[in-house]
Structures are given as C-alpha cells and as structure tokens.
Structure 1
Amino acid sequence: MEDEIQKMEDRQVPRGRIDLIGCGRLGLRIAINLMQVHRGGPKTIGAFDGQKIDGGDVIFTLYGAETGQYKPDFIKQLCTHDEEFRNIISYPEFIDDENIDLIEGDVVIIVIAGGNTIPTASKIIKYAHERGAKTIGTAGIFGFGNEDIEIKDISEYDDNNPAVEELRKEGIIKNHLVLTTNKLIRDNEPVTPYTLDEVAKIITMNALKLLRDQNEKNSNS
C-alpha cells in the first residue's frame, strides 16, 4: 500500500511550463496562484512584461514591490520555492517579432492590456499553436463585479463580442480558450479587484487542466 501511495505522490510533482504574457494586476494574481499550487502544477513559470511598477500598481506595493522595479522581476522575487521544485524565469520585455521565440510554455496565458493588444495576442497564439502549446486569453473583463464570467473555446462564441471578432479576423478561430465578462471598455464600467480575483482563479484552474493534459501527452509520446 505504501508503495502505491509513493507512486501516486511521485506523479504529483511540478512538471512542464506555463508562460504568462503580461504581468499586470491580473498577471500578478495568476502568478501567485500558480506559485502556490501543491501536488502538481508547473515546474517552470515564464513571466513576460516590459513594464515597471509605478505608484498606481497598488497590489504590487501591498506585496512589497518597489517603484521602478520590473514586474516579472518582482514576481520572481515573490517565489520562495527551491528552484529545483518551482522556478520563475523573468523576461522584463514586451513580446515582439524579435523575441517571440522566448515563449516555450506548454501552456501560454495571454493577459496583456493597454491599447489594441489583438495583433500582438494573435501573433503569440499562432506561435504557441505552431509549437503545440495550449493558449488562454481574455476578451473584456470590465464590470462592477456581479457579471457572469464565461470561458470557452473561441469557436463557441457568437458574434456579439468585438474582441472575439477581432481575434477571429486575425485568424484565431479555434483551439484558443477565451475568458470574458462580456463587458468591454465601451461599456464605461470599471475593472474591480474582486473581478480580477475571480478571473485569475478561473484562468489558473483552466491553465492547470491544460498543463495536465499536455504533460500526459508528452509522457505518452
């Protein structure tokens, strides 16, 4: 019996890699969730963002960040695991055509914000899919906090979400999980911390499921 338990425990160790593209208010929450996963989860987390922390990044300063520090560097600083158990790799830069090959995750989470992020997100998704990785992104997470949060494959959405439609115009039509509150910047509603908490929880859960599937596929290949 003890041998069987040991075998099961041996299977539930961190394996694989999740890349987090965007380390802002949402990305930080997801990163912290992933760091705390026990009995599984990613061995490596790649954190990508070229932005530095400023005075408006309250959740960062609450956790002890210093103004001017790169966000991925701070995420790495927060991780107190032994690197042999779980490792954070910090990439303090924005993804573009020159460095997109730094993305190596089995699962890629895209939570970049500010301006029109669709062209960059679509390039990342296409690159990840070419590598055989799974992807998750958002399409509007505005709202006061009582919205129904949806997450499903992009092929399952109707044509009422402009962000989903823009991704489709870029050629992203299937095999990409999209989360949304169905509220966008046009709706003149805020992005609340409790919505971000819930969105981060749902993205984390789905990323872990995808990682498990990827790890099983890699083990059987």
Structure 2
Amino acid sequence: MPMPEIKICGLTTPGTLDAALAAGADWVGFVRFARSPRHVALEEARRLSAQAKGRAGRVVLLVDADDEAVAAAVEAIGPDLIQLHGRETPGRVAAIRAATGRPVMKALGIAGRDDLAAIAAYAGHADRLLLDAKAPPGAVLPGGNGVSFEWDILAGAALPADTMLSGGLAPGNVAEAIARTGLTAVDVSSGVESAPGVKDPDRIAAFVAAARGTTPR
C-alpha cells in the first residue's frame, strides 16, 4: 500500500502550521467559515499560505460560499486545492472549478450506506472527494465535530482514486481507519487539538507518525 497522504486542517497560527509541516503533512488546510473556531481572517490566511508555499499543498475550506467569497479566498490564499464542505450541488462544484481554475475537493457527509449514493453524482465534477462523518443533528459545523462513521460500509464501494477519509480520526485510530477502508488519504482537524480550534503540535506529530507507521519526528 502506498504511503498515505495526510491533511492537517484548521490551522490558525504560524507555530502550529510549522508543526504540521515539520511532521511531514502533505496538505495544510485553512478554514474560511466564520462560525468555526478554526476560521482565519483573509490577511492571516494569506500569511499562513505564504509560510506553507512550496512545503505542502495549501487548501482553503469554504462552506456554501458565494462567488465573491470564493474569489476573495482564492486571491488571498492562492490555494492548490479548494475544499467545499457545505451543501454545494454538483453544478456548483463544477462552476467554482471552472471560475477559479483550481482543483476542487467536495466533502460528502456519510452516516450510512445510503449516503454513498452521492459519490456518483459528484465524481464527475470534483477532482477529489472527501468522505466525512455527517454532522450530528443540531451541530453548528458541517465538519470538525470529532465524530466518525462506520468505516466498514465502504467495503465494496466504488470509490474514485484519491478519495480522502475524515471524521473522528485521531492518533489512536488513524492506522486502523486506513487498514479497514483501504483509503490512502486522511484528513484530521479536531483529533489533533487540545481544545476546539487549538492545534497541539505533539498530537499532530503523533497523528502523522501513526498514519505512516513511523515514530514522531
């Protein structure tokens, strides 16, 4: 099995971004969603993106953003990948991809096997898919809630290449998640935090090491 790709999402400070880069993250994510504890202002996102440039892929996470918000985020961050984590339709995904000229990853909320039907609808419009645990009833955030779905429902599913797994991942379970799903890309946010929105450098290092079957750098 190839070495898994690792995305650390919701980074908000230069120090924790450096921790993710030092640990060997392939992707670093910056959240543009005001209701999230991981939200970063455009100018701070611009600085963080510059810090990561050439060291890891840069991802901007957007939630049901309008055209103006998408354009502002792309201008400030210059992302290598746009992650859409709201209720964006396949048509909206295609439109953002065309307007920005950037690859797009669409997050799909998964709770049961029936939710996998959305994969076919989005596969032709998004460059990548991210399978995240569906937000619990009443949740404020569409992701980053620290919950997982039953990974075994993915057995036998036709998943596009480079599909990424998220939802409730942490240093203690990421190796099992990779083994049980066969997916070779994982995304973590709350699982490497000491408090909502507060990334922990030691947990970041432990997560990367666990995913790759190595020891922390």
TM-score (norm 1): 0.36
Structure with bigger strand share is 2
TM-score (norm 2): 0.36
Structure with bigger helix share is 1
Question: Which protein shows a greater Rg?
Answer: 1
